[in-house]
Structure 1
Amino acid sequence: MKKHGHLNRDIARVLARMGHTDSLVIADCGLPVPDGVECIDVSLAVGVPDFFAVLDSVLADFKAERAVFASEAQTHNAAVVARSREMAAAHIAVENVPHEEFKRRCREAKAVIRTGECSPYANVILHSGVIF
């Protein structure tokens, strides 16, 4: 559920529509966007904006109760693993699934926010919590 204002009108619209357990994906520039799932492309150039800038911006305006990452990040992206641990410490349940399962779950998302990130497995599925 939406908590505060967000400057990107498409992201703000999607956050305002989110209900408990709905999902939203923040993706690197290589993750395929499933047919029928809205893509909000905020990429400007390789690496801009990066995954963490977009994740931080969304989490400042969104109550997440669960986050899903690709298990391959455990061996291929230490920065994503570190952030997943920070999220777990902040009482967001963290789940790791194989990348193929991750991509399958993306089909259920309300939207995919595509960043300019180009490091491996820099993707997360955020599930909406409630603010009460």
Structure 2
Amino acid sequence: MLKGIPAILSPELLKVLCEMGHSDRLVISDGNFPAESMGKDAIVIRCDGHGVPEILDAILQVFPLDTYVDHPVNLMEVMPGDTVETPIWDTYKDIIKKNDSRGAAAVGNIERFAFYDEARTAYAIVATGEKALYANIMLQKGVI
């Protein structure tokens, strides 16, 4: 156990977050995301018993977001014609606001298949058991 580190962050995940450099990207995926096939060239960390919001909140307590890009946080856009609601995005924006002064302005959207393309180049993917749809989120690391 460490002081000041959220207990939900496993030693494996802490190691990966520490290894990441400026501009490296981390995907926190929902339970439907093909983490293993997208992460063939990435480190995949399983957090199946947890949801994205609790993992995101813990990570952002130790992970600086990139200040050199407009949107260091990106969400997977809802496909045209899909009627899925995404209230979880508001939860994400509240969490981001707690940890980054830009708040919701730091958040962008990426079309679904472009998100998959970007995820294939991520340093790591944290696979959660999140049940909300379109709950995938990509973070770009900044500097301290």
Could you say which TM-score interval applies, normalised by the shorter chain?
0.7 to 0.9
- TM-score (normalised: structure 2): 0.76
Query: What are the within-5 Å matches in structure 2 for residues 40-79 of structure 1?
Result: 40-44=45-49, 49-65=50-66, 66-72=72-78, 76-79=85-88
CA distance in 1 between partners of 2:5 and 2:44 (Å): 20
- TM-score (normalised: structure 1): 0.82
For residue 90 of structure 1, the aligned residue among 78, 101, 121 is 101
Displacement of 1:36? 2.0
Higher Cα Rg, which structure: 2
Q: CA RMSD in A?
A: 2.3
CA distance in 2 between partners of 1:83 and 1:122 (Å): 9
CA distance in 2 between partners of 1:41 and 1:86 (Å): 21
Which consecutive residues of structure 2, in runs of 5 or more, have no partner in the other structure?
A: 67-71
User: Which range moved further: 17-26 or 32-41?
Assistant: 32-41
For residue 80 of structure 1, the aligned residue among 86, 89, 95 is 89
Displacement of 1:5? 4.0
Cα gap change, 1:100/1:81 in structure 2, threshold over 3 Å: closer, same or farther?
A: farther
Give SS of 1:52's match.
helix
Which residue type is aligned with residue 140 of structure 2? H
State how many pairs are aligned: 124
Alignment-derived partner of residue 69 in structure 2: none
* Identical-residue share of aligned pairs (%): 27
For residue 15 of structure 2, the aligned residue among 9, 13, 16 is 13
Which consecutive residues of structure 1, in runs of 5 or more, have no partner in the other structure?
A: none
User: Which range moved further: 76-85 or 22-31?
Assistant: 76-85
Which residue type is aligned with residue 123 of structure 1? N
Query: What are the within-5 Å matches in structure 2 for residues 81-120 of structure 1?
Result: 81-84=90-93, 87=96, 90-91=101-102, 93-120=106-133
Contact 1:5-1:12 at 8 Å conserved across structures: no
1:39 matches 2:51: no
